[in-house]
Amino acid sequence: MLLVEGLQIRYMLTTFSEKTELSHISSREITIALAGNPNAGKSVVFNQLTGGNQIIGNWPGKTVERTEGWIKYRGRRIRIVDLPGIYSLSTYTEEELIAREFIISGTPDVIINVIDASLLERSLFLTLQLLEMERPLLLAVNQLDVAESKGLKTDINTLSKLLRVPAIGIIATKGIGLNRLLTTAIELAEKKERVIPPTYGGEIEQSIIELVKSLDEVYPEYPTRWLAIKILEKDEWLRQLNISQGILDRAEEIRVEIEKTHKEPIEIIISSERYALASHITRNSQFYEKKKKTFLENLDMVLLHPVLGYISMLLFLLTAFMTLFKLGEIGSSLLEKLFSNLDVLVINIPISDILRNLLFDGILAGFVSGITIALPYILPFYIFLSFLENSGYLSRIAFLTDSIMHKLGLHGKGVIPIIMGYGCNVPAILGTRILESRRERIIASFLSMLIPCSARTIVILGLVGIFLGIKWAFLIYILDLIIIYIVGLFMNRYYPGETPGLIMEVPDLRIPVLKPTLRQSWFRIKEFLYVALPYIVLGSVLLEVLKLLGWFDVINKILSPVVVDWLGLPLITGIVLIFGLLKKELTLILLSTFSGTTNFSLILNPRQMFVFSVFVTLYVPCLATIASLRKELGRFTAFVLVLLEILLALLIAGIINHLWIYIVS
Amino acid sequence: MVRPLSTLKVGEKGKIVRLIGGIGIIKRLSDLGFVPEQEVEVIRSAPRGPIAIKVKGTVYALGRGVADKIYVDDLQ
C-alpha cells in the first residue's frame, strides 16, 4: 500500500513539472480553485473529485497546508487547487491572504465556491466577496441534507438568479451532484465569461461608483470595482500598486464622511452592506419550517453543559486513550513477531560483521521500530483525531477548556496540540500552527513536548505499570499534568505578551464520513513517516557506530555525577538516556540489552523505576520532535526550549529521587 | 438597556448595537456576522469562561474578553 501510494505521488510530481513546460503550448488544461468556509465540506468535495490523486504541501513560504489534485476528464487534464477554508477575503489571516493571492494572480479558470446550505447567509458573505473579484464562479450548494434536517428548504434556481452565477445542489458526502458540478465547471472555464459583481446599497455603492470612474483603465489587470472597494477599505495589499495620491485623498474624504454619518468604522459599514445583501438573497431563496430538535442537537446541549460537559469530556478522552493504548499494544506485538523473521534476510548476506551490524541493528532495526510505533500507536490515534475534528467535538473540547488554557497563556484552541501530543509530539508541534501568535505557538510547543507520547507511554506502562502497578503509572500522568499546568502558569506570567481572545466556530455535531476520515489519517501518517522515520533510522545507525567504537563506558562515566549522584540511577542508564534522545521507547529496549534481562526489578529498585520514568517522560523530546521544533520556531528557540526541558526534567526527577523516602513512607 | 454581550444569560437574546476594540478584532467579528442590528442568542456560558453565541445560524465560541467588546440592546 505504502509503495503504491509512493509511486502515485511520484507520478503526480512528474506530471506537475511537465505541466509547467507545456502550459504555453496546450490550452487544454483547466485550473479549478475550490473556495469556501471552514467546515463547508470543501475537502470532501476535493477528495471526491480527485480521488487519491493529490499532493499535500505548503503554500510557498507559508505554514498553511496546500492541497492540489489532478484528474483526467475526457482526455483533458484538470488541476484542482483546494484553497484554505476562510470566512472572508479581508486578509485578516494568512489563509485569507493566500486565497486572495491565488485568485488574483494564480488566475484559476473557474472558482467553485462550496457553501453550506444550512448556513446560507454566512456562506454568501464570502460568495459576494468572490464575485467582487469577477472571476468565473460556480456555486456548489452543499449539505442540502443537513439543511433539510434543520427545516431549511433551499431554492437553488432563485439563488442562482439572484447571484447571477450558476448554482448546483450537491451532497458531497454521498457523492450526489458532483458529476454535474464538474461538467458545469469545465463549461464555465471554457466560456471564460467574467461574472457581474454584486451592487450594494446607499453611500457605499455611490462611493464605489465614484472611485471606479477615476480608476478606470489605470489598472486593467484588476477588476476595477474590486479595487475601488479595497481602496475604501484601506487594504494594506494596495501599497504595491502605487495608486495616485489624488485617488487616495478622495477616498479618505469619502471614508471620513461615511464614518461620520454612520458613527462606525468603514470596515463595519462595508461588512454590514455585504451582510444586508446576503441576508436579502437568503430570505428570498431559503424557507424555514420549524422542526423538532434532532438527537445530535440535544446531545450538543449536554456536551457543552457547564457540568455534564466536563464529565462527559473526561470520560470520553479517558476511555479513548485507554482503548488506543490497548490497541497499540496488541498491534505492536503482532508487528514485532512479523518483523522478527526479517533477520534471516540479513544474516545470510556475505558481508563483514561490522557492516552486518550496521545494516541489521542499525538501519533495519531503526526502520522496524519506527514502523512498530507509527502503525499500531500513531495511526489509530490519527484516526481518532480525525474523528474528533470531523465530528465537531474537538471545537467543543476547546470551548470547555478555554478558561483553564487561558491561565497557561493559550486559548481553547491550544488544547488541540496538547491532545495530539499524547499520540506523538511531532504532529503536536506541527499542529501549533492553528494558534495565532508566536508567543502562543512557543508556549503550546513547550507544553505539548511535556506530554507523554505513545513512545513514552510504552516506557511508563512497561516499567512502572508492570513492576510497580498501574496506580503508580497513573500517578506519573497526573504528575505530568500538574507540571504542565505549573510550567504554563510560569510561561504565561514571565513571557511578555498577551493571550488573544478566543474566536472560534463551533460547527454542528455530525457523524463523520468514514472515507475522508481515513484518507486524512493516511496522509498524516505519511507526513509523520517522512519527517520522523529518517531520524529514527539515522539515530539507530549512530548508536551502532558508537557501540562499535566502544564509547559507551566513557559516556557513562562522564554522565555519572548527574545520573548516579543526582538522579540516583545505576551507571548504565547514562548511555540509555542519551539514546532515548533518538526515540524514547528505545530506553527500555536498551536497558534490557545492557542488563541482559527484561525483568527490570533485578536492576532497578522501585524508586529508580519511578525516577527513570519521570525523567524519560520530561527530558528532551526525541530527535524527530526537535527537528519539527526547529522547522516551526527556528534553531535558536528550539535550542532554548530543549535546554529548558532538560533542566526541568533534571530538577523534577532529582527532587523526587531525594524526597522518595518521605513520599513512600 | 445597552450592555456587553458577556453579561447576557443562557437563552437570552439581544441586538448588536456596536463593537469596540482594535480594528483587527472588529473586522474579524464583523466578517463572521457580528454587525450592528444583528440578533444574537447566548447558547452556553461557562462561568468566567467563554460563551457560545448563535449568530445567523452559526454558533461561535467567544472568549469573555472578546464578548466584552460587543454591546447589545434588548430586542423590541
**How is residue A54 written as a grid cell?**
493529490
Task: Sketch out chain A's domains with CATH numbers.
Answer: 25-191 (3.40.50.300), 202-288 (1.10.287.1770), 308-664 (no CATH)
CB neighbours (10 Å) of residue A624? 24
At residue A368, the pLDDT reads 81
Work out the angle between the directed axes of helices A156-163 and A120-132 (0-180°, nearest 10).
30
Q: Per-residue pLDDT for A17 more than 50?
A: no
The answer to whether the CB atoms of B61 and A267 lie below 8 A apart is no
Q: How confident is the model at residue A18 (pLDDT cuts 50, 70, 90)?
A: very low
The minimal CB distance from B48 to the residues A403, A501, A502 is found for A403
Q: How confident is the model at residue A15 (pLDDT cuts 50, 70, 90)?
A: very low
At residue A531, the pLDDT reads 72
B38 at A interface, C-beta within 8 A: yes
The minimal CB distance from A412 to the residues B43, B48, B50 is found for B50
Please indicate whether residue A474 or residue A519 has the higher confidence score (pLDDT).
A474
Prediction pTM value: 0.84
Under 8 Å between Cβ of A506 and A319: no
Q: Per-residue pLDDT for A12 more than 50?
A: no
Contacts of A507 in chain B (CB under 8 A): 58-59
Q: Which residue has the cell 532529582?
A: A654
B35 at A interface, C-beta within 8 A: yes
Q: Which of A172-181, A199-208, A349-358 has the lowest mean pLDDT?
A: A349-358
Q: How far apart are CA A216 and CA A252, in angstroms?
A: 19
At residue A424, the pLDDT reads 83
The C-alpha of A32 sits at a distance from chain B's nearest C-alpha, in angstroms, of 25
Q: Which of A333-347, A464-478, A545-559 has the lowest mean pLDDT?
A: A333-347
- Output DSSP code: residue A452: -
pLDDT digits (tens, 9 = 90+) for A492-502: 999 988 888 88
At residue A9, the pLDDT reads 34
- Transcribe A384-404 into DSSP letters: HHHHHHHHTHHHHHHHHHHHH
At residue A147, the pLDDT reads 92
At residue A52, the pLDDT reads 66
pLDDT digits (tens, 9 = 90+) for A70-117: 898 888 899 999 999 999 998 678 889 889 989 988 779 999 999 999
Contacts of A120 in chain B (CB under 8 A): 57
Under 8 Å between Cβ of A454 and A378: yes
pLDDT digits (tens, 9 = 90+) for A609-643: 999 999 999 987 888 889 889 888 999 999 999 99
Q: Which of A40-44, A150-154, A184-188, A373-377 has the lowest mean pLDDT?
A: A373-377
pLDDT digits (tens, 9 = 90+) for B9-67: 999 999 999 999 888 888 889 999 999 999 999 999 877 789 999 999 899 999 988 99
Under 8 Å between Cβ of A281 and A159: yes
pLDDT digits (tens, 9 = 90+) for A406-431: 999 998 889 989 988 988 888 889 88
A265 at B interface, C-beta within 8 A: yes
Q: Per-residue pLDDT for A20 more than 50?
A: no
Chain B CA closest to residue A398: B61
Q: How confident is the model at residue A506 (pLDDT cuts 50, 70, 90)?
A: very high
The answer to whether the CB atoms of B27 and A267 lie below 8 A apart is yes
Chain B CA closest to residue A505: B60
Q: How far apart are CA A195 and CA A403, in angstroms?
A: 46
What mean pLDDT comes out for the span A121-135?
Answer: 95
The dihedrals phi and psi of B72, each to the nearest 5 degrees, come to -125, 160
At residue A3, the pLDDT reads 34
Contacts of B30 in chain A (CB under 8 A): 267-268, 271-272
Q: Per-residue pLDDT for A456 more than 80?
A: yes
- Transcribe A72-120 into DSSP letters: EETTEEEEEEEPPP-S-SS--SHHHHHHHHHHHHS--SEEEEEEEGGGH
What mean pLDDT comes out for the span A375-384?
Answer: 86
Please tell me the CATH code under which domain B3-73 is placed: 2.30.30.90
pLDDT digits (tens, 9 = 90+) for A341-376: 776 766 677 777 777 777 777 788 778 877 887 788
Mutation site for A-interface testing, chosen from B19, B51, B56, B71 by largest number of A Cβ within 10 Å: B56
The answer to whether the CB atoms of A119 and B57 lie below 8 A apart is yes
pLDDT digits (tens, 9 = 90+) for A229-278: 999 988 888 888 888 888 889 899 999 999 998 888 898 999 999 999 99
What mean pLDDT comes out for the span A210-221?
Answer: 81
Mutation site for B-interface testing, chosen from A271, A281, A401 by largest number of B Cβ within 10 Å: A271
Burial class (CB in 10 A: 0-12, 13-18, 19+), B41: middle
Q: How confident is the model at residue A133 (pLDDT cuts 50, 70, 90)?
A: very high
At residue A343, the pLDDT reads 67
Chain A CA closest to residue B36: A272
ipTM computed for the complex: 0.95
What mean pLDDT comes out for the span A23-41?
Answer: 78
What mean pLDDT comes out for the span A321-340?
Answer: 85
B50 at A interface, C-beta within 8 A: yes
